[in-house]
Structure 1
Amino acid sequence: MTTDRAIPTEPGILAFHERCEDFYPADAVNAPIQQQRAWYDALCAEFDAPSPEGLARQDEIVGGRIPVRCYRPAAIVTQTRIFYIHGGGFVVGSLQSHDAICAEIAHAAKAELVSVDYRLAPEHVWPAAFDDCFEVLKWLLVDGRPLVIAGDSAGGNLAAGAMLKARAEAIGGIVGQVLIYPGLGGDLVSGSYAEMAEAPGLSTADVAYYRDVLKAPAENAFAHPLKAADLSGLPPAYITSAHFDPMRDDAAHYAQRLIAAGVNVTYRDEPQMIHAWLRARHMSEGARQGFAHLCRGVSDLLGTL
């Protein structure tokens, strides 16, 4: 049973969660995959937002098979691009599910942004999604323009893993990483995984389900970045978590380890937020503030502040 300490008190985020459950029930992971995706698509559409004025989109295909969407805001002040990887437990999500979020980040940061439509589990288990993201990462770096890699939830996992692989292969040009309530391979039995086991929006059992569906090797650091023995030499990071989220400690522990390894890190734990709070940015004051801090963090990594 959910305890009082696992429930936020901010009215806006509570209203957001209630609205989410109208579209995506708490036991959604028990439904067939196609039903989960239909529910998720309807949920995302419910929280859609008007596109920033003057922002242009262009869809492309990378490597003959990987869809990407390129966002170009009306005002651009940097040649550095943002590479955004969406969340969704590796099971749901698409270019469209995070379209408004990507558009608003690009607009706020005054930078081009590219998002990726990677292959989803269970049809495509590890390392399909990871390989797709890494292929797009290398494609973006071909022209020599610097890059900030960002992702939320499962996308934060993929972004962190891609950073580790880029370091292993001595691939340069990545100047920052942005991890938004990422799942990074925590143990599922201690810390926030126990304290927030039944937090609204995402339970520890849900996290276990998504890991089981992905079927990533348990000791692979690209799949579980907290398993990496050494985090030195990685680019500066902006990391944000939700306090009422079983994956909170993944973000906190990764930030602590990066700092210990000499990496410049800004870490924020949003005190009243639940998992997926990005979607609440237009109805929750805490989410609005968190999103503003996120956009400033992205701009700082881009060197545009």
Structure 2
Amino acid sequence: MDETDYRDLIDEDTWEFIRTCARHLPPDSTRLPLDEQRAMHDALCRALHADLPAGVMLDDQTFGGVPCRLYQPAAASGSVVWLHGGGFRLGTLQADDDICAEIAAATGLRVVSVGYRLAPEHPHPAAFQDALTASLAVARAFPGPLLLAGEDAGASLAASVAHAARGRIALAGQVLICPALGGDRDRGSYLSHAVAPMLGRQDVLRLASLRHDGRAPAADPTSDALRDTDFRGLPPTLIVTAQCDPTSDDGRNYRDAIRAAGGRARWTEEPGLVHGFLRARHRAARAADSFARITTALAAMAQGRAV
């Protein structure tokens, strides 16, 4: 495997973010019991949590029976279904409070964050079913433009929901941040960034096994959107990946598949950033700039403008 020298590729602000994450959730924490890993992840999210912007109201609700948290700006012009990260095994509604509230404030869109079930207690397709059910319910509850967005595992779920929702709901767009979409894990970025900070190739393989209860998944687009054979009819799509991330090529390949089917898609690989960079948006200028581009794209999609 090729390995990348990250000493100069990653700037000091991002390195400090990486060190902060490692202090709260060390790389070897995967050997700990799952409840301890979750507690450490929650502590990390609290440590990186930003003050919530003024003018956004929070309310816990259920959509289709799935627990969700609603972030309502003063006058919402549409809706975003947000699916959190955490490798399908970590993450809570509370963990993404600041991210979701900032999206709502920056875009004028209400955000509905979905508390989908986690593996290994609930293996695939539980998280996908929750994400799809909640998305359909949000579409019924709030007329107007509807977008899907998510990070990490949540981005993977969002893409699978977009495929499954064709013909059922009209989506104004989807924004996928650092998704793993089922690409070839024996080539490209999976090898050149196999030992990247924050997420390595072995982490991807381990998390996939955990999500599927140790069973290798079939060619199932409800698990991995790149496994689909039909990419027609998908909404305008923006995929944002980090350069220092083994999953980055999945973003490029997904863009290419949508474009080959006649759809609209754009892929941006953020130089020098790492998996999970959204939580560095108040700590590293590169992450802040990327987050600003993401919120701008969401607002544009809701208004029917091209990605």
For 2:201, the equivalent position in structure 1 comes to 204
For 1:150, the equivalent position in structure 2 comes to 149
One-letter amino acid of the counterpart of residue 155, structure 1: G
Q: How does 1:59-78 map to 2 (within 5 A)?
A: 59-64=60-65, 66-76=66-76, 78=77
Does the 8 Å contact 1:2/1:199 carry over to 2?
no
Q: Rate the CA distance shift 1:16–1:2 in 2: closer, same or farther, 3 A.
A: farther
Name the SS of the counterpart of 1:171 in structure 2.
Answer: coil
Does the 8 Å contact 1:2/1:198 carry over to 2?
no
One-letter amino acid of the counterpart of residue 93, structure 1: G
Residues 27-58 of structure 1: CA distance to partner in whole angstroms, max 9, x if unpaired? 22222211110110011001101111111000
Count how many residue pairs are aligned between Structure 1 and Structure 2.
Answer: 300
Residues 210-235 of structure 1: CA distance to partner in whole angstroms, max 9, x if unpaired? 10011172311121111111211111
Unaligned runs of 5+ in 2: none
One-letter amino acid of the counterpart of residue 276, structure 1: G
Question: Shift of residue 11 of structure 1?
Answer: 1.0
For 1:55, the equivalent position in structure 2 comes to 56
For 1:269, the equivalent position in structure 2 comes to 269
Residues 204-256 of structure 1: CA distance to partner in whole angstroms, max 9, x if unpaired? 11111110011172311121111111211111011100000011011111012
Alpha-carbon distance between aligned partners in 1 of 2:275 and 2:131, rounded to the nearest angstrom = 22
Name the SS of the counterpart of 1:67 in structure 2.
Answer: strand
Alpha-carbon distance between aligned partners in 2 of 1:100 and 1:295, rounded to the nearest angstrom = 14
Q: Rate the CA distance shift 1:130–1:4 in 2: closer, same or farther, 3 A.
A: closer
Identity percentage over the alignment?
Answer: 39
Alpha-carbon distance between aligned partners in 2 of 1:244 and 1:295, rounded to the nearest angstrom = 22
1:171 aligns with 2:163: no
Name the SS of the counterpart of 1:238 in structure 2.
Answer: strand
One-letter amino acid of the counterpart of residue 88, structure 1: G
Question: Shift of residue 2 of structure 1?
Answer: 9.5
Name the SS of the counterpart of 1:177 in structure 2.
Answer: strand
Q: How does 1:59-208 map to 2 (within 5 A)?
A: 59-64=60-65, 66-76=66-76, 78=77, 80-143=78-141, 144-167=143-166, 170-208=167-205
1:213 aligns with 2:210: yes
One-letter amino acid of the counterpart of residue 34, structure 1: D
For 1:27, the equivalent position in structure 2 comes to 28
TM-score computed with the length of structure 2 as normaliser: 0.94
One-letter amino acid of the counterpart of residue 269, structure 1: E
Does the 8 Å contact 1:109/1:298 carry over to 2?
yes
Alpha-carbon distance between aligned partners in 1 of 2:217 and 2:3, rounded to the nearest angstrom = 33
Does the 8 Å contact 1:243/1:273 carry over to 2?
yes
Q: How does 1:207-286 map to 2 (within 5 A)?
A: 207-215=204-212, 217-286=217-286
Does the 8 Å contact 1:185/1:226 carry over to 2?
yes
Alpha-carbon distance between aligned partners in 2 of 1:183 and 1:155, rounded to the nearest angstrom = 10
Does the 8 Å contact 1:53/1:74 carry over to 2?
no
Alpha-carbon distance between aligned partners in 1 of 2:268 and 2:74, rounded to the nearest angstrom = 29
The 10-residue stretch of structure 1 (41-50 or 218-227) with the greater mean CA deviation from structure 2: 218-227
One-letter amino acid of the counterpart of residue 149, structure 1: L
Does the 8 Å contact 1:55/1:107 carry over to 2?
yes
Alpha-carbon distance between aligned partners in 1 of 2:80 and 2:123, rounded to the nearest angstrom = 26
Unaligned runs of 5+ in 1: none
For 1:300, the equivalent position in structure 2 comes to 300
Question: Shift of residue 150 of structure 1?
Answer: 0.6
Question: Shift of residue 75 of structure 1?
Answer: 4.8
Name the SS of the counterpart of 2:43 in structure 1.
Answer: helix
